[in-house]
Structure 1
Amino acid sequence: MRRLFPLLACLTFLAACADGARQLNKPVEPIGDFKLGHAVVIAPNIVKGPASRDATDEEWIAAVDSAIETRFRRYQGDRFFHLGVSIEGYVLAQPGIPLVFTPKSALIVNVTVFEDATGQKLNEEAMQLSALEAPSKDTFIVGSGLGQTKEEQMAALSANIALSIETWMRKQQRDAGWFGGPDAGVPIVPEPAEEVAPEAAAETADADTGEAAEVMAAVEEPELSAPAN
């Protein structure tokens, strides 16, 4: 667990990541056959990073669980999968000095995916993922510590970590065939029927009728002759 401290310290100075909440506005593309069964979020050994605001385990569990439900309930595949998420560490940036010291908020989780039908883990070792605050007009210069409340920081980080989980799952779908592979869950659109001119349709119907008559004649029962005395 000690290794999370330098990681959290490093993350506070890195560039911000994509905006998970904004990504929800994009059209829903299936993740193979994935459909969310249960999402279990825990925080057994959460670590608070340096120069961070305080947040309780319960607050983090509620925020991350809400973000996961919002993102993954959109997918309606044919098979249920469960997500186990352990919140490992966080930094909720405090107000800094603009242009000199603007700490960034960060969140680290471990993720495991289970297949409902078999009860098996898709990844034997939990995958560790991290997320940073997304850039905005309120945080680009002064950081989220000054531009957002603690609750806003937590909601933004939770949305970003849910997006990080989805991005990782899609990579596993492509590379390891999770959730049925890249073609699973994609709706099949039938090709439009080819238009046939009325004259050609009539000729086809006459030909079909003639062929049907010939077939019926071939299978008619022969006349039975009277038995010889």
Structure 2
Amino acid sequence: MELSGLKARVFGALAALSLLGACTSGAQLGEERAELGNFRLGHAIVVAENAVVGPASRRAEPEAWEAALTAEIERRFGRYDGDKFYHVAIAVQGYVLAIPGIPIVAAPKSVLIVGVTIWDDEAQTKLNDTPHRITVLESLSGETVVSSGLTQSAEQQMQNLSENAVAAIERWIVSKPEWFPPRDEADEGQVAGAAPEE
């Protein structure tokens, strides 16, 4: 059966990207978080049942992607303690979980493509009309420099890609300060004067 337009584009992108290099790791949160005004995470919504599986890829259950990405959204965005709730919705569009290949000659990289929508809970509306596409590759490490297909399980590959995808989502929404109004000055004073947590 012929692939639909979107699925065909995603499949083509996966095929090309799986041969490229790795990207920066999103595993570490860092001591300082980005500035997101009055942001507080509401719901993390992840769907993966329509994901396109790229060429030469291991397969993963949609529920496994949903669990990995949901946990990573909560880990990264749970650090923000504003008073206004926003929901992060992710649709997994496609992925490659690299299988063992011939080192150097044919060592594919793992890839994840997601569509992201941010919802304003109070206004009950989407902040971006169409899902924002984010594509990430696996992080470079001693285990992935040849191919993660040789050294990592599918679960480890999914964790790596989930960390990188959610870090990329954070960078994207930080570039949209108009979406996240700053705290009221009174709130900022209370936060500044609050006793540090033990």
- Which amino acid letter does the alignment assign opposite residue 12 of structure 2? P
Describe the SS at the equivalent of 1:51.
coil
**Inter-CA distance 144–26: structure 2 relative to 1 (3 Å threshold):** farther
How far is the alpha carbon of 1:25 from its aligned partner?
Answer: 3.0
Counterpart in the other structure of 2:70: 65
**Identity among equivalent pairs (%):** 46
Counterpart in the other structure of 1:216: none
Deviations 1:44-102 (A, max 9, x none): 31110000011111111111111111111111112110111111110000111112111
Tell me the distance in 2 between the aligned counterparts of 1:164 and 1:18: 10
Matched, 1:10 2:16: yes
Describe the SS at the equivalent of 2:175.
helix
Matched, 1:78 2:83: yes
Structure 1: unaligned runs, 5 residues or longer:
191-229
TM-score, scaled relative to structure 1: 0.76
Describe the SS at the equivalent of 1:2.
helix
Matches within 5 A, 1:31-46: 31-46=36-51
Deviations 1:80-138 (A, max 9, x none): 10111111110000111112111000001111101011101100111111111000012
Give the structure with higher Rg (CA): 1
Stretches of 4+ aligned residues off by more than 4 angstroms: 185-190
Structure 2: unaligned runs, 5 residues or longer:
1-6, 194-198
Describe the SS at the equivalent of 1:96.
coil
Counterpart in the other structure of 1:179: 180
Number of residue pairs matched by the alignment: 182
- Which amino acid letter does the alignment assign opposite residue 67 of structure 2? A
Counterpart in the other structure of 2:128: 123
Matches within 5 A, 1:1-229: 1-22=7-28, 24-140=29-145, 142-173=146-177, 177-180=178-181, 184-185=182-183, 187=188
Contact in 2 for aligned 1:30/1:77 (Cα 8 Å):
no
- Which amino acid letter does the alignment assign opposite residue 155 of structure 1? Q
Output the aligned Cα RMSD.
1.6
Tell me the distance in 1 between the aligned counterparts of 2:114 and 2:135: 6
How far is the alpha carbon of 1:29 from its aligned partner?
Answer: 3.4
Counterpart in the other structure of 1:196: none
Deviations 1:164-209 (A, max 9, x none): 1101101122xxx1111xxx2595669xxxxxxxxxxxxxxxxxxx
Tell me the distance in 1 between the aligned counterparts of 2:57 and 2:166: 21
Describe the SS at the equivalent of 1:155.
helix
TM-score, scaled relative to structure 2: 0.87
